[in-house]
């Protein structure tokens, strides 16, 4: 039998990836790069070109938008670590559960969850010189506690539904670090792409990984991301060390409490 490879069959072989929170700042770095390897389905509750508009707190919507995709990159959330529980619970807990439910119901094989270094930010204030991916969760704020919740619900779904769930504790994703305190936890756009691409293809059932660049200022270790995901970051915040201010212009350098310091990560 002779198979003829048509344009249609080539396109059909491209996996489809649902990106939630597509109108957000992190997605901005990802979409064009991911779009060259995957067929993307975008969604957000804010209008965005090409995105399916909807609120993931609506379980039916989450189920519909997950249907028929090969993977989900779940970014949608309130990304402000300064917000209280009342603001965070819907986008960061309800929507998260709905997406995992929707993915499980649709038989989606893999979900990549955007967690945050805030899930372990407490170790910063405890004076740890290096924080690995094996330390116990120690959130520094409600936002971080909800990221721990997300990681744990992810584990539950990985076990119960045979979903592959990859949790990425992202550092501060920007073109360049914003201040000196950002140097250890900075994650460049190109390294973010490397990390998410690795998470979409790695042979892991469940895992939690630190998403930082190859920063010379060591604090966050990401040995597990390198070993298990094959993540190879290339950028180093040290390149900007003499260009960044000592701290952010809002005066937060005066506060060395845990949450204030870790706020600089996002
Ligand atoms: N930006 C960072 O440096 C950083 C660092 C660590 C972790 N993260 C995490 O990465 C993810 C993306 O962050 P970001 O900076 O792009 O945030 P963002 O606020 O720029 O974008 C988030 C997007 O999610 C959408 N959204 C929120 N709730 C929704 C809902 N219920 N239904 C549908 N859409 C919803 C918003 O409309 C927004 O467009 C978040 O989960 C955040 O916690 C970000």
3-state secondary structure the chain: CCCCCCHHHHHHHCCEEEEECCCCHHHHHHHHHHHHHCEEEEEECCCCCCEEECCCCCHHHHHHHHCCCCEEEECCCCCCCCCCHHHHHHHHHHHHHHHHHHHHHHCCCEEEEEEEHHHHCHHHHCCCCCECCCCCCCCCCHHHHHHHHHHHHHHHHHHHHCCEEEEEEECEECCCCCCHHHCCCEECHHHHHHHHHHHHHCCCCEEEEEECCCCCCCCECCHHHHHHHCCCCCCCHHHHCCCCCCCCCCCHHHCCCHHHHHHCCC
Q: Is the CB of 73 under 6 A from ligand 1?
A: no
> What's the domain count of the chain?
1
- Check which CATH number belongs to the domain holding 157 and give it: 3.40.50.720
pLDDT at 162: 87
Does 8 map to a domain?
no
Is 248 part of a structural domain of the chain?
yes
Residue 97 is assigned to a structural domain of this protein: yes
Range of the domain at 188: 14-263
For ligand 1, whether the C-beta of 139 sits within 6 Å is: no
Tell me, yes or no, whether 78 lies in a domain. Answer: yes
Q: Is residue 6 part of a domain?
A: no
Taking only the tens of pLDDT, the chain with its 266 residues reads: 333 334 444 455 899 999 999 999 999 999 999 999 999 999 999 999 999 999 999 999 999 999 999 999 999 999 999 899 999 999 999 999 999 999 999 999 999 999 999 999 999 888 899 999 999 999 999 999 999 999 999 999 999 998 999 999 999 999 999 888 889 999 999 999 999 999 999 999 999 999 999 999 889 999 999 999 999 999 999 999 999 988 776 655 333 334 554 554 44
The answer to pTM > 0.75 is yes
251 CA distance to ligand 1 centroid (A)? 25
Within a domain: 1: no
Gap from CA of 20 to ligand 1 centroid (Å): 8
With a 6 Å cutoff on the Cβ, whether 24 touches ligand 1 is yes
Q: Would 158 be classed as within a structural domain?
A: yes
Residue 73 falls inside a structural domain: yes
Report the atom number in ligand 1 closest to the C-alpha of 28: 16
């Amino acid at each position: 039998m002779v198979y003829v490879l048509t344009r249609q069959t080539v396109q059909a072989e491209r996996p489809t990836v649902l990106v939630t929170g597509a109108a957000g700042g992190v997605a901005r770095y990802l979409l064009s790069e991911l779009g060259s390897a995957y067929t993307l389905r975008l969604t957000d509750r804010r209008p965005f070109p090409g995105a399916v508009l909807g609120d993931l707190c609506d379980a039916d919507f989450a189920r519909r938008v997950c249907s028929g995709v090969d993977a989900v990159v779940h970014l949608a959330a309130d990304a402000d670590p300064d917000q209280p529980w009342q603001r965070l619970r819907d986008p960061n807990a309800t929507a998260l559960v709905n997406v995992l439910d929707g993915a499980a119901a649709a038989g989606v094989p893999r979900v990549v969850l955007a967690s945050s270094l805030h899930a372990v930010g407490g170790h910063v204030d405890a004076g740890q010189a290096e924080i690995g991916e094996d330390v116990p969760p120690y959130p520094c704020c409600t936002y971080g506690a909800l990221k721990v919740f997300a990681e744990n619900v992810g584990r539950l779904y990985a076990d119960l539904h045979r979903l592959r769930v990859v949790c990425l504790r992202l550092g501060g994703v920007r073109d360049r670090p914003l201040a000196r305190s950002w140097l250890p936890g900075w994650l460049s756009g190109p390294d973010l792409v490397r990390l998410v691409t690795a998470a979409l293809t790695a042979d892991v059932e469940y895992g939690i990984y630190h998403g930082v660049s190859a920063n010379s200022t060591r604090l966050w270790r990401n040995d597990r991301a390198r070993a298990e995901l094959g993540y190879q970051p290339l950028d180093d915040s040290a390149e900007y060390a003499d260009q960044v201010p000592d701290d952010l212009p809002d005066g937060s350098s005066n506060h060395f409490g845990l949450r204030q310091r870790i706020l600089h990560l996002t």
